[in-house]
Amino acid sequence: MEHENFLAVEGLCKKYGELSAVDDVSFSVRKGEVFGLLGPNGAGKTTTIRMLCGLLKADGGQITVNGVSISSGYERIKAMIGLCPQEIIIWELLTCLEQLKFAGMSYGLTSRAAGNKAESLLQSLGLRDKRNKLAKTLSGGMQRRLNIALALVHDPKLIILDEPQAGLDPQSRILVRDFVRQLAEERTVILTTHDMDEADRLSDRVAIMDHGKVLLIDTPEKLKEKSGAGELLQIRVNGVSQDLARQVLNSLPDECTEKQYSDGLFLLGASGVLELIPKVSQRLKAFNIHIEDMTLRKRTLEDAFIAVTGRGLSE
């Protein structure tokens, strides 16, 4: 029987010396869900998933997969988990087909079953033409796709992908995105990313992590709503010092409820943001500031991250 919450994490902790890499993290992932762990470098995403797959021992907390605790029943559940690590780990001197078949057989599949599974994964990941090529001859994006295939040869029910989109060319990105969505039709997927756009497109729900803690968990839509109401006015300017930016922000009309400046960008929010445009343009002109570009844009997960941490994902 499969539990509705295929994965449950409760109070997970991991320390490296004084550093709390993962600090009291709790979340659960429903069967058939794509769950994204989003956070900047060093947030604790990889450490979390290493503990989820049993690669790293937690200092505290509980992880259960399909109702079985990892600490006491790992042997029973390890075949249910497939991990695709951030690093590319492949056999360079085997062909794509050979290595997938070999990996399948090492999980106990018959030669025929492993061969069939390998062919089907190669097809799904756009590598069919490369089936008899040595892995070392593939492009970086193709090697990454082969890496993903290797995590899936044993048909795991829980698939954990660490930065699956890192280093992919745009074409591979779309292919992998579609593939991950297909996987979740029958399985449960957890992925880590620091790319908010990918987290938004791929995930049913997202946990925003920072400094080892989960700050928010919700659907991408709800998280974006939490950053504020309505669209944002984004104005690109040139040559504005921090002092001047501060003066401008202080002088903006009262109906402008959200005001930020960083890296040549003013970001403003208000309930009637369109009506702000003439007022803000006049104000910038009064400060002799030249507007390079003005755009009305939808809220992103980065806005949600900024709303809870006060800084951007890459800062």
Ligand X SMILES: Nc1ncnc2c1ncn2[C@@H]1O[C@H](COP(=O)(O)OP(=O)(O)OP(=O)(O)O)[C@@H](O)[C@H]1O
- How many alpha carbons fall within 13 Å on the CB side of residue 107? 23
Nearest-approach distance from CB 19 to ligand X, in angstroms: 6
CA 314, 252, 299: angle at the middle one, nearest 5? Answer: 40
188 contacts ligand X (rule: CB under 6 A)? no
Stretch of 37-45, 132-140, 146-154, 220-228 lying at the interface with ligand X (CB under 6 A): 37-45
Between 105 and 144, how does the x/- string for binding to ligand X read (CB under 6 A)?
A: ----------------------------------------
Between 45 and 64, how does the x/- string for binding to ligand X read (CB under 6 A)?
A: xxx-----------------
Residue with smaller CB distance to ligand X, 41 or 241: 41
Stretch of 3-11, 43-51, 115-123, 301-309 lying at the interface with ligand X (CB under 6 A): 43-51
Tokens of 256: 């402008």
- 13-32 residues in contact with ligand X (CB under 6 A) are 16, 19, 21
194 contacts ligand X (rule: CB under 6 A)? yes
**Which of 6, 12, 36, 39 contacts ligand X by CB under 6 A?**
39
Nearest-approach distance from CB 240 to ligand X, in angstroms: 31
- 278-307 residues in contact with ligand X (CB under 6 A) are none
What distance in Å separates the CA atoms of residue 27 and residue 11, rounded to the nearest whole number?
A: 9
Q: How many CB atoms lie within 10 A of CB 213?
A: 15
Residues that bind ligand X (CB under 6 A): 16, 19, 21, 39, 41-47, 194
